[in-house]
Amino acid sequence: MKTSFFQFLKDIFKELFSNKINFVFMFLALTISLVTLNTIYSLGLSAKKQVMDYLANLQFGKDAMFIVAGGGRIIGLTTTRRDTLKLEDVEEIKKLDFVKLASPISIGTLEVSYKGVAEKLKVEGVLPNYVFANNWYPKVGRFINEKDLKTMAKVCVVGADIPKKFNIKNILGEKIKIAGQYFKVIGVLESKPFFGHHRWDKRIFIPLTTAQRRVFNKDYIEGVKLLFRKGTDIKIAEKKIKEILRKRHKLFGIEPDDFRIITPELAISIFTKTMRTINVFLLAIALISLTISGVIIMNLMYANIEEKAPVIALRIALGADPRKIIKHYLIMSFFIAIISGIVGWILSIFLMQIISFFTPLKTFFSWKVFIFSLSFATFTSITFTLMPAIRASKIEPAILLKTL
Amino acid sequence: MVKKLVILKNITKTYYTGKVAYQVLKGISLEVEEGEFLAIMGASGSGKSTLLNIIGLLDKPDSGIYIFDGQEVNQLTKKELAYLRNRKIGFVFQAFYLVPWATALENVLLPLLYRGKINKEDEKKAVELLKRLRLEKRINAKPNELSGGEQQRVAIARALITNPKLLLADEPTGNLDSKSSQEVMNIFKELNENGITIIMVTHDPEIADFAKKIKIIKDGTFIKE
């Protein structure tokens, strides 16, 4: 048995495709806007996911924190002294029961050379626990150990790009010159994905003691990475650490901090802040374009209804009540929305593929975006068809008998 | 006693063109019994199509009473009128008004689309009707593949699919050649002999002659029978 609903749909489909040009324009208007909207939305999600992955990869999940020497703004020049963060501070912080691991670093940009090839690179003085703190292990050789620290050994572990940079085939055991002193390479780290300007694979790591006494000649550190025990309340942890540091640095009253505490949340917000501003702007443009497509759909629907007035009048004469006529055009607009929604989504994936060739952003596949696309298409299409549909339902069947 | 299907009492209808009022129907009264075949004749602008619109529940009179099939219809809503049209009235128009993208069979089934279900029996009945009107080879043809006479026959089949009590025809042969006109009128005659009440509007006396009764309308009122 065929239900009349099936026939009803068939009838709507046939009417929709009876004026192909009209259909194509409605479809195009909606599809183009949706491609824009989907692509912008997906790329925003993609960027956020990349930042999250990046942070997770650095062991900068929700149970981590980074303390940087120097107060003031989060990004940019410091407005306070930056030589006050010491290893003693780290020892004090380590006493807090929720701190699982503390990994201090002393960092500087130095000239590194090998057989006449020289380059300025970031050199970090670190402890053996650096590998656990950053989830980053040697690919070959070993990392810095306690003995290296005690003896202030002139050894180094290099990032994955270094052998290639100095054109060394078998780098283990080779000696490279850092700030005029020879360091023996004892290990090469795994390659680490990078985001923005942080090229981890171009860094060189040496024992912290060696860095402080033999290279930088300073007793302060640039930062310390902390890992907390599971379930630690980051806000409470931040407060306690701040108290310890301010007390130790003798900062009272309104004196500003001479350190900055970077939480994962803060890091994400810094990374995504600019992105978000751009996204809101682009989304606004996409929404305006969607509204324009809505108006185009409305116009084309009006034209369609004008053109089909005798058929609508006939339907009314044959027993279609006003609600059925409205339903007829809303279902038609729903079809247009579904087709445009699906095609718009597929095209946006292609567009993202193209964009990913030229930018670090990756194609982002998400059912959320698909549902988002369909919902927007349906909302726009149905909203802007409502008026023409109501007009159609008010067509007088009497127009069929033209002569008075 | 034969039941009266259509009773019109003092029907008036005025149209407005801008601020100019034009009274098309000036107190028309009419009674049509079941099984009648009435032709309404009149010149252009005499009000015959307006009258047909009112009889067919496509338009409402400004004043007067209209009783259709024992029910006063003046106060019915659009939905109720749509229901009555769908169940009790069949329409045949001068311009055929077939849905251009639908096949002959789909056009015939169109009124049933606005009921609840279309079942196999309905389809069978539609095919039977098309066969009866000698369109068995044109079942799947689109209107633009049919001649004028064939299109009008499809329209007649569409009017008959709901087993209407009343068949309304507005200049049914107006767009047809004489042979096709003859054919269509013979079908009407046969339908009337089988018990269907027909009210037809025409300005062609030869066509009106097929009816059992003729009424002439002039300036919004009947002048003679």
- Specify whether A208 is located in the same domain as A275: no
Contact A18 B87 (CB under 8 A): no
pLDDT per residue as tens digits for the range A175-194 = 999 999 999 999 999 988 76
* Nearest C-alpha in A relative to B54: A398
Let me know: does A92 contact A69? Beta carbons within 8 Å.
Answer: no
- Specify whether A89 is located in the same domain as A226: yes
CATH class of B37-60+76-224: alpha beta
The pair of three-digit structure tokens given for residue A332, joined into one six-digit string: 């038609």
- The Cα-based distances of A86 to A95, A248, A251, B213 in angstroms read 15, 10, 15, 116
Task: Give me chain A's average pLDDT, please.
Answer: 86
Q: Considering A217, A248, A279, which residue would you say is the last residue of a domain?
A: A248
Residue A347 inside a domain? The answer is yes
Task: Give me chain B's average pLDDT, please.
Answer: 91
- Specify whether A363 is located in the same domain as A278: yes
Mutate to test the interface with A, among B108, B110, B120, B204 (most CBs of A within 10 A): B110
- Specify whether A127 is located in the same domain as A193: yes
- Per-residue model confidence (pLDDT) at position A402: 58
pLDDT higher than 60, residue A196: no
- Per-residue model confidence (pLDDT) at position A325: 93
Domain count, chain A: 2
| A233-254 mean pLDDT | 89
Domain, as residue range, for A17: 4-54+268-400
Q: B78: which chain A residues are within 8 Å (Cβ-Cβ)?
A: 321-322
Report ipTM (2 d.p.). Answer: 0.90
Backbone angles phi, psi at B11, to 5 degrees: -75, 130
- Per-residue model confidence (pLDDT) at position B224: 58
pLDDT per residue as tens digits for the range B41-98 = 988 888 888 899 999 999 999 999 999 999 999 999 989 999 999 999 999 988 889 9
Residue A209 inside a domain? The answer is yes
The pair of three-digit structure tokens given for residue A85, joined into one six-digit string: 């963060």
pLDDT higher than 70, residue A355: yes
Contact A4 B116 (CB under 8 A): yes
Backbone angles phi, psi at B224, to 5 degrees: -160, 165
- Per-residue model confidence (pLDDT) at position A197: 58
Residue A286 inside a domain? The answer is yes
Dihedral of the alpha carbons of A128, A187, A138, A260, in degrees to the nearest 10 = 50
| B115-126 mean pLDDT | 86
- Per-residue model confidence (pLDDT) at position A57: 67
- Specify whether A138 is located in the same domain as A235: yes
For chain B, what are the domain ranges? 37-60+76-224
Q: Which of B17, B44, B35 is nearest to B219 (CA)?
A: B44
Contact B97 A397 (CB under 8 A): no
Mutate to test the interface with A, among B99, B103, B124 (most CBs of A within 10 A): B99
- Specify whether A236 is located in the same domain as A185: yes
- Per-residue model confidence (pLDDT) at position A404: 38
pTM (two decimals): 0.69
Q: How many residues does chain A have?
A: 404
pLDDT higher than 80, residue A74: no
Residue A241 inside a domain? The answer is yes
- Specify whether A195 is located in the same domain as A282: no
* Residue reference for tokens 């209107």: B143
Taking the C-alpha atoms of residue A397 and residue A311, their distance in angstroms, rounded to an integer, is 9
Residue A356 inside a domain? The answer is yes
* Residue reference for tokens 């940079």: A165
Cβ neighbors of B29 (< 8 A, separation 6 or more) are B8, B9, B10, B11, B64
- Specify whether A111 is located in the same domain as A244: yes
